[in-house]
Chains A and B, each alone.
Chain A
């Protein structure tokens, strides 16, 4: 009875989502191994080994595993599966792509975006954009889960000293190839890990205004910047900043929503935040229903004043 946690990383550093995913992986109740797969990623494995409460770290390192392509990663996990009773990944882009494939090849159900581990086979997860919580019990021999990182505190860094064991990279004839990537370069903290998030909506009216009003406040608060779907669709912010049912799920200590009306799809991505502030000129905007503190007014007047007051 052992659990395997698939690590997320960029080749250099372990993602915060993995340290968080370790918490529910341990809540299943069995020893946890972490799998670090990639190309030239030994440093990530060493970092994973320092997380508290890890039995061992498996390192699969080779060019075939670069860019976290679905096919080689699936083959690797399916090959390891017989040694485990639960396979877990954070519900990141990689986890969401690979874990259903692994489950299908094991002929078991996959349980997505788990927000609570009730026991080794029983899990809670949001459905209908978080408007209902479903508690399910798995009858399968192997449980394959993705877990919502924002719902769990991170495991302690530096508390552990697990062994790193190198494992072979399986031969696969991948029929997909990596071509190119356009990665965002931002000085801001990671949206899914930042303690403070300030998000903007369509009310900004332009990409220039979005940056002009939000960036100085984000810099002062050391906050991440997020966006509503409307702001991303309008081109004010890049896709990776979208917060919502189909974007990133965040649960910071403080979430400031500016010029965001509060569609259920957006609320699904942020209503787990500890404190929510809504700034909107429409006093009837649905975002106020979930806000701890609401301020009605024009963002071009309020935001400069807020920057000044911080």
Chain B
């Protein structure tokens, strides 16, 4: 079985982004970028399934401009066998990315797609779900445990009231939550080896997919600021302040 993993280049999770003064977006100039943390978890799970003999190949796919090659190199260094960059200009919405991943999954004969549950830039949490719908495959979102059993996957998901386990018939889509695994670090020899691994390039146009956005971004603004608070020196003072504020 071949596993497809979607990897997105995003702002490093430790960076606090700034909104541009003209309200056109956030300032990404000279900001440290990284693989979306949930995609690292998705990739790690795919590698573990391969290492356990449930898959023969892990293919990392990224949609974006040529800078996403760095993210694919990181995926190869972690252990992906191959990588595909699908070049698309401008803002790509989850629907367009899902259509691209669908096209790649069909070309490649993919048996399982694992994606991060959300990207930490647009916080959309949509692409895996859209991919599953377009392919007509079952989905388990927010996975915290994946067990391969024959032609099915048993997936434990983090849900609002606790956890639940679903059985999916393959082919299927899984989206990774935080506690699915702890992604490995790429070792130096693997980083060196990754430089020789192939990265194929496609374009959205060549796949006959229209990536033009459906949404117009009218503005991007700062969130409403909070009033500065005060330090209290004792529990008694805290309780008194809370009573004064009508919070207790």
Contact = CB atoms under 8 A, between A and B. Distances in A.
Interface of A: 10, 67, 69-71, 74, 92-94, 96-105, 107-113, 122, 126-140, 174-184, 192, 196, 221, 229, 232-233, 238-240, 245-246, 248, 253-254, 264-265, 271, 274-277, 288, 290-296, 302, 305-306, 309-310
A292 B227 contact: yes
A246 B177 contact: yes
B160 A290 contact: no
B98 A274 contact: no
Given A131-B16, A239-B163, A295 B232 contact: yes
B117 A103 contact: no
25 contacts: A97-B139, A100-B130, A100-B133, A105-B133, A109-B93, A110-B95, A122-B218, A131-B17, A137-B216, A137-B218, A140-B214, A180-B164, A182-B162, A232-B179, A254-B247, A271-B226, A288-B231, A290-B229, A292-B229, A293-B241, A293-B242, A294-B230, A295-B238, A296-B231, A306-B235
Contact of A93 (B120, B142, B215, B247): B142
Give the interface SS of chain B, mostly helix, strand, loop or mixed: mixed
B242 A275 contact: yes
Contacts of B202: none
Contacts of B144: 239
B203 interface: no
B133 A179 contact: no
Nearest to A248: B160
Interface in B115-144: 117-118, 120-127, 129-134, 137-142, 144
A180 B167 CA distance: 10
A264 to B, nearest CB: 6
A245 B120 contact: yes
B139 to A, nearest CB: 5
A132 B179 contact: no
A71 B172 CA distance: 12
Contact of B94 (A110, A264, A265): A110
Interface of B: 11, 13, 16-17, 19, 26, 38, 93-95, 98, 117-118, 120-127, 129-134, 137-142, 144, 154, 157-169, 172, 177-179, 213-223, 226-227, 229-236, 238-239, 241-242, 245, 247-248
B236 A309 contact: yes
Nearest to A229: B178
Nearest to B157: A93
Give the interface SS of chain A, mostly helix, strand, loop or mixed: mixed
* Most A CB within 10 A of own CB, among B131, B163, B213: B163
Given A104-B95, A127-B122, A254-B242, A177 B166 contact: yes
B231 A295 contact: yes
* Most B CB within 10 A of own CB, among A110, A229, A248: A110
B217 A176 contact: no
B26 A132 contact: yes
Given A135-B221, A291-B229, A179 B154 contact: yes
A126 B158 contact: no
Contact of A306 (B124, B139, B217, B238): B238
Given A179-B165, A181-B165, A271-B226, A246 B178 contact: yes
Contact of B159 (A131, A175, A240): A240
Nearest to A10: B161
Contacts of A96: 125, 129, 141
A2 B133 CA distance: 24
Contact of B161 (A174, A183, A291): A183
B27 to A, nearest CB: 10
Contacts of B242: 254, 275, 277, 293
Contacts of A97: 129, 139, 141-142
Nearest to B161: A183
B248 A221 contact: yes
A293 B129 CA distance: 41
A100 B235 contact: no
A175 B132 CA distance: 11
A276 B230 CA distance: 11
A196 B246 CA distance: 12
Contacts of B223: 126, 130-133, 271
Among all A-B residue pairs, the 8 with the closest Cβ atoms: A104-B130, A100-B129, A176-B138, A101-B133, A100-B126, A109-B214, A181-B164, A175-B169
Nearest to B175: A97
A305 to B, nearest CB: 4
A180 B165 CA distance: 5
A100 B125 contact: yes
Contacts of A184: 161-162
B220 A127 contact: yes
Contacts of A134: 217, 219-220
